[in-house]
Amino acid sequence: MNFKKVFGFAAVAALSVVALAACAPSSGNDSKEDDKTLTVGIMTRTDATEPLWEKVSENAKKEGLTLKFVEFTDYSQPNKALANGEIDVNAFQHYNFLNNWNTENDGDLVAAADTLISPLRIFSGLNGEKAKYKDITELPDGAVVSVPNDATNESRALYLLQTAGLIKLDVSGEELATKVNITDNPKKLDIKELDASQTASTRTSVDAAIINNNYAVDAGVDYATVLFKEEINAESKQWVNVIAAQKGWEKSNKADAIKILIKAYQTNEVAKILSDASNGVDVPAWEGADSAK
């Protein structure tokens, strides 16, 4: 993919799953009726993602496919549900997260198609409702920065802090970084690791917070308070989000349905909705998408 024009997603103790339509695990069901439905795992819908999935559902319906959604509130469950056959596909993660999950769980889930890319951002902390800082260079010595604590998003956050010139790491590329990999921290940043769903709520108690965009949008975070945004370049493929499926999905009874989903998603209409509904936070990233030129 050419990214020349691509620009600028207490810890949760239990999973809350909301089925938007009655659905049961469909793996292994070879009925013709089953072939006409597909169960898709997604994160809890927001104002930004609701119109996107409505359009994808509408496009799929024209092809005779009904999409049924299961919503998840944290990142730890959708891949388990997919591996267990409780859902047919999921759409919430990037390649790096998927690859790391497979490694840690001896899994073999695969990417069936690209969807979007959502650059990570450093947001200013707040004094009341007002941003403490207007530029990344204003962060003081000893600044407290909250970051996601899951392996891939923490690593991505640390790389972002490095790109912003705040720290240096002894790893590079797709190697996972943790706090022990910090070799230089001239401002002596106090990096607080928290569940990704909680970083947005810390802004009144920290100097800066790195917040995944799905949680930032859901929490109503003002994007005018962004201090620094992740650069997108040729190495950003690992951060492209995907529709994930079980290994060998192409030969399963859900193959045609998954292909219809991919076709329904990867349209110019969806690309525009994706960008407009998120106010440019998310960008379509599949080959040939209007914004991926």
Which domains, from first to last, does the chain contain? 18-118+239-284 (3.40.190.10), 121-229 (3.40.190.10)
Average pLDDT over residues 187-195: 98
Name the token pair of 211: 């917040």
Burial bucket for residue 149 (CB in 10 Å: 0-12, 13-18, 19+): middle
Instruction: Give pLDDT, residue 19.
Output: 35
pLDDT higher than threshold 50 for residue 234: yes
Section 251-269 average pLDDT: 98
pLDDT value at residue 278: 87
- pLDDT tens sequence across 132-190: 999 999 999 999 999 999 999 999 999 999 999 999 999 998 899 999 999 999 999 99
Q: Between 249 and 22, where is the model more confident?
A: 249
Q: Which two tokens stand for residue 84?
A: 């267990």
> What is the 3 state secondary structure string of 98-148?
HHHHHHHHCCCCEEEEEEEECCCEEEECEECCEECCCCHHHCCCCCEEEEE
The percent of residues in the chain predicted with pLDDT above 70, rounded, is 88
| Residue 253, token pair as written in the block | 């009874």
CB 116 within 8 Å of CB 250: no
Non-local (6+) Cβ contacts of 272 within 8 A are 290
Residue 17: per-residue pLDDT: 35
Q: What is the pTM of this model?
A: 0.75
Q: What is the pLDDT of residue 7?
A: 33
**pLDDT tens-digit series, residues 10-59:** 333 223 333 333 333 344 444 445 779 999 999 999 888 999 999 999 99
Q: pLDDT for 103-131, tens place per residue? A: 999 999 999 999 999 999 999 999 999 99
d(CA 57, CA 265): 9
